[in-house]
Amino acid sequence: MSNLTAQLHWWKGAVIYQIYPRSFQDTTNNGVGDLKGIIKRLDYIKALGVDAVWISPFFKSPMKDFGYDISDYRDIDPLFGSLADFDELIEQAHQRDIKIVIDQVLSHTSDQHPWFIESREDQTNDKADWYVWADANEDGSPPNNWLSIFGGCAWQWEPRRCQYYLHNFLTQQPDLNFHNEDVRKAVLDNVEFWLARGVDGFRLDAINFCYHDKELRDNPAKPKHLRQGRGFSEDNPYAFQYHYFNNTQPENLAFMQAIRSLMDKYPGAVTLGEISSEDSLATMSEYTSGGDKLHMGYSFELLTKDYSPSYIRNTVETLESQMTEGWPCWAFSNHDVERVASRWSKDGVVNTEQVKMLHALLATLRGSVCMYQGEELGLGEAEISFEQLQDPYGITFWPNFKGRDGCRTPLPWENESAFGGFSQSETWLPVVEAHKAIAINKQLADNNSPLIHCQQFLAWRKEVDVLLYGDITFTQSDESILAFERSYNGKTLCCYFNLSAESQPLTLTGKVLKANHFDNATLNSFGYVIAER
């Protein structure tokens, strides 16, 4: 790969560090993180060894869904800072050779966005067709059976228009009508605003939700034994349907091409689409096919409870068999699901050696990597009481589902500070004692800590082309061991991971390049080994 090609394709094999800005670093001491906090900690990010940061939304918003309900796509919410702060962040990050990827929430806006405020007034205004509006049935009921991910009906009555509007998420997040050409143009203009400002790419939130079925056909029922929660509660009625008509429509492919055409005007800029459909792996393949749509896609397939070698192998092999042209991106955690250190642990008890093994496994799969803030520390899910909840999702489904607050608590920088070095005042979510006990300052001083392990592994990986660009072939997946080979330019690496707490026999040939808890012919509890054949 030439230097120019490598620069333009920096995202291939990249490690992207997700920052949830509310909980990263507070510099104004209002208990909420901000853009200056990210600037303050860029040296930490650089030392971690990642290639880019993905920053969750920081745009103007009523914060009903903590920034994923945008009221102004071209300005910063004062809670997080200003456009000048963002420009400084871009400059400071680029000086450290760190790329900046930002969230774009295209499928819906806040109900406080000027577009919606105008659209809801009547059925004849200039923005009347910018959102998904529909008449009631004769009995006054909603136009169809579509459900919101956050619980209940996906339609909300608007008395000004005497119509329902569609919201796939909160009622305060009305869906835009992408069948309208003016909407598509306005959305792309907003995207280009940030490209012109110097961002290196976009994580496209719920990108398969942009289009809806124009005929508003009912979604069919899903049999009980097939109802699985991927990123949402399994007792959520949303799982009771096949979502064939409220998202992932064929018209969306042309919009993906329009996004790519815009991105191609800014060489090196990248798109990473979040995809959650009835067959997310197939949709990822479709949305990254042909070299004229998204650069990368990721889904919730490895954000589930299933941690078995066979499940991981089947998931990756299924995508590999379908995604013959695109590029995958894998994640074990994000801001919407229980932290992996708890989710894949035994009885929710975090095991630091398992955390290290998961660092290595995530960074060894073929594709790019999304690593969520705190994952490098092995943070477990924080225990949050009902009185402390902020997430409307958790409040609605408590106590069966506690929402997303447990993975969104502030990052613990210092173990002895009252608020973990995150802030000097009461924080929007608590800094829990279990997290302060493994704070960043403590881990940096401990050569055996998950943080040091993560830094060292990512630094090594950056020098191994086989791991960055190579093919993947699975060779073993039993109840304990996940094994695969990575091959590139005539070199082959054999990778073995013990996903169990029990030692496993392992006969290995070749030169060991990287290992943890591997002793002669035994791969010990949560050990791994990578060898060159």
User: Residue 94 half-sphere exposure, CB side, CA atoms within 13 Å?
Assistant: 11
Question: Residue 311 has what DSSP assignment?
Answer: H
User: Residue 232 half-sphere exposure, CB side, CA atoms within 13 Å?
Assistant: 20
241 neighbors 224 (Cβ within 8 angstroms): no
What lies within 8 Å, CB to CB, of 292 at 6+ separation is 257, 260, 261
Reference 111, options 63, 144, 178; nearest CA is: 63
Reference 115, options 186, 57, 18, 212; nearest CA is: 186
**Total residue length of the chain:** 533
What does DSSP say about strands 155-158 and 163-166: parallel, antiparallel, or unpaired?
antiparallel
Show the tokens assigned to 50: 């990642």
Helices marked H in 171-328 — which ranges? Answer: 181-196, 252-263, 280-287, 309-322
350 neighbors 406 (Cβ within 8 angstroms): no
Tell me the catalytic residues: 205, 274
308 neighbors 499 (Cβ within 8 angstroms): yes
3-state secondary structure 70-93: CCEEEEECCCCCCHHHHHHHHHHH
